[in-house]
Amino acid sequence: MPSRRLVLFVLAGALSSMGASFRTTNFLVDAPTPQLAQQFGQMAEHWRQEKAMDWLGREMPPWPEPCPLHVRVTLGGAGGATQFSFDRGRVLGQNMNIEGSLDRLLVSVLPHEVTHTVFAYYFRTPVPRWADEGGAVLSEDDIERNRHDQLCREILNTPRRAIPLRTLFELRDYPRDVMALYAQGFSVAQFLVNSSNRPTFLAFVAMGMQRGWDVAAQTYYHYNSVEDLQAAWLTHMHNTRRQQPVQLAATTNPIPGESGP
């Protein structure tokens, strides 16, 4: 009898660790409890609608297949990852994993990851890392935006840490200093969005991918080159925090190991 009871306890623990599922129109959520699965499913749909309106000016149609959303609530740091499969201008599949404290997941990590799905729908191909991550951070709450703004200023004032924008724009993979990409990507995205709007930013990125970043800068923001855009961005950074003079160190040479493939 004791051994049977032990087996039952072990089985109960295993079943509880499997969590619960909840299906919405566009998400299939796996979370620790039924209540959390439903909460994250509803919030994922909320952010999907809101971020599509923010970035595209319209809602996205329902996906052919729901996006798996795996939720792990912990007491540690918050983060997430969304993987996509593309084929000839189509999104074949997507899979989302998020982990962290409940409050940060709902207001920061989840909208960040959902924004990646909006970009995947718009571009239908892998997006330059700086724009993908920068725009996704721009979709987060004030806490994360302020943190990335402060980090970007620290990076810009650290010799040889900042990434010149021409190098940043060409990166197709994450550099060794991944936070430099996140922080600068966010800062540049915010600067460009505030200079126009989110749909214009997406059009700029699309043209940069297709025809080059100088042409995109000229067409959408009236800068003659990426270097002119960089100068305007740095001036903006300086003027918004005069107590922290900002300059881009080592602008003539990319940081070793941070060139695009």
- Each domain of the chain, given as residue ranges in start order, spans 2-126, 130-240
Task: Work out the average pLDDT over 20-48.
Answer: 98
Cβ contact 68:95 at 8 Å: yes
Q: What is the model's pLDDT at position 115?
A: 99
> Which pLDDT band, with edges at 50, 70 and 90, does 5 fall under?
very low
Q: How confident is the model at residue 241 (pLDDT cuts 50, 70, 90)?
A: confident
First to last CA, the chain: 63
pLDDT at 82: 97
Q: State how far the Cα of 114 lies from the Cα of 81, in Å rounded to an integer.
A: 10
More confident residue, 17 or 60: 60
Q: Tell me what the pLDDT averaged over the chain comes to.
A: 89
Share above pLDDT 70 across residues of the chain, in percent, rounded to a whole number = 85
As a CATH number, domain 2-126 is: 3.40.30
Per-residue pLDDT reduced to its tens digit, 50-80: 999 999 999 999 999 999 999 999 998 999 9
Measure the CA–CA gap between 29 and 42, rounded to whole angstroms: 10
Whether the CA torsion 217, 221, 224, 226 is positive or negative: it is negative
> Closest Cα partner for 186 from 221, 211, 226, 151?
151
pLDDT average, residue stretch 207-221: 99
Q: How much of the chain exceeds pLDDT 90, in percent?
A: 83
Residue 1 pLDDT exceeds 60: no
Which tokens go with 144? Answer: 């994360």
In this prediction, residues 90-103 reach a mean pLDDT of 96
pLDDT at 233 over 80: yes
Residue 248 pLDDT: 54
